[in-house]
């Protein structure tokens, strides 16, 4: 299994991204992603629903995590963060846990996330202050039971296959009604595409990202539904 794929020019129009060799704020990419998923599953339906002009983020000390791109629809948020905080942007990603996938090893859970939930034609673009800084264009399909992975564009995108981690799904998680999840403490593995921005300078900034996911076919991407999300954060960086 390839743990990490990163294709980057590192700096675009003055916006800096963490490289694959870095450990952002002393924490591994695996640990940041584990925290992201534990945040996502902790949200109730009301907490997970973006409110117009609201601020749906997770602040974890030196890192700010933006909303899951699977939310669907168009959303505008207004938040205040500091010039010491990095920004985690989830382009498209998934996890599998041992609650509803019993008997799988950590590595098998990560493979499950990739081969069960990340199939289809997947596109995403990230902009900072209106300037494109990252682009994703890939296709994952099952061909005769084997994964066929085609990369068209992977610009400033971190594709990460995580190690196993612990996940706690509370009884009031909004995802319990939307997926075959089981409340409890489980092992999990994740696969997906991310952008890790270094802190932005003080001032007002706009961070926007979108995702478009389309099935490749009933047999090549079973269970995949089309998703379209457009997310914008107006950030007051102090």
Whether pTM exceeds 0.85: yes
Q: Is the pLDDT of residue 53 over 50?
A: yes
Q: What is the mean pLDDT of residues 8-17?
A: 65
Instruction: State residue 9's pLDDT score.
Output: 44
Position 145 scores a pLDDT of 85
Q: How far apart are CA 1 and CA 105, in angstroms?
A: 13
pLDDT band at 120 (very low <50, low <70, confident <90, very high): very high
Percent of the chain with pLDDT over 90: 87
pLDDT at position 13 is 57
Question: Which domain, by its residues, includes 193?
Answer: 4-237
Q: Identify the bridge partners of residue 158 per DSSP, sorted by sequence position.
A: 6, 194
How far apart CA 108 and CA 113 sit, in angstroms, is 9
Instruction: Tell me which long-range contacts 19-24 makes (C-beta under 8 A, separation of at least 24).
Output: 20/158, 24/62, 24/63, 24/86, 24/196
SS3 of residue 98 by DSSP: coil
Query: What mean pLDDT do residues 170-196 have?
Result: 91
pLDDT band at 8 (very low <50, low <70, confident <90, very high): very low
Q: At residue 5, does pLDDT exceed 90?
A: no
State how far the Cα of 156 lies from the Cα of 86, in Å rounded to an integer. 15
The pLDDT value recorded for residue 178 is 66
Query: For tokens 């952008």, what's the residue?
Result: 195
Number of domains in the chain: 1
């Amino acid at each position: 299994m390839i743990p990490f794929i990163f294709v980057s020019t590192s700096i675009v129009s003055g916006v800096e991204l963490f490289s694959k060799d870095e450990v952002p704020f002393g924490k591994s990419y695996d640990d940041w992603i584990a925290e992201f998923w534990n945040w996502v599953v902790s949200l109730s339906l009301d907490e997970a629903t973006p409110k117009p002009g609201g601020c749906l983020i997770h602040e974890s000390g030196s890192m700010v995590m933006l909303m899951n791109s699977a939310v669907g629809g168009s959303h505008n948020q207004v938040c205040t963060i500091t010039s010491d905080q990095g920004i985690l942007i989830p382009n498209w990603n998934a996890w599998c846990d041992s609650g509803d996938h019993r008997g799988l090893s950590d590595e098998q859970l990560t493979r499950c996330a990739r081969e069960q939930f990340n199939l289809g034609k997947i596109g995403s673009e990230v902009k900072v202050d209106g300037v494109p800084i990252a682009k994703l264009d890939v296709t994952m399909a099952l061909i005769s039971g084997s994964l066929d992975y085609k990369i068209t564009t992977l610009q400033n995108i971190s594709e990460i296959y995580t190690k196993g981690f612990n996940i706690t799904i509370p009884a009031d998680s909004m995802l319990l009604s939307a997926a075959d999840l089981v409340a409890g403490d489980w092992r999990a593995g994740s696969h997906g595409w991310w952008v890790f921005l270094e802190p932005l300078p003080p001032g007002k900034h706009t961070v926007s990202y979108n995702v478009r996911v389309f099935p490749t076919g009933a047999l090549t991407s079973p269970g995949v539904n089309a998703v379209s999300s457009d997310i914008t954060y107006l950030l007051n960086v102090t």
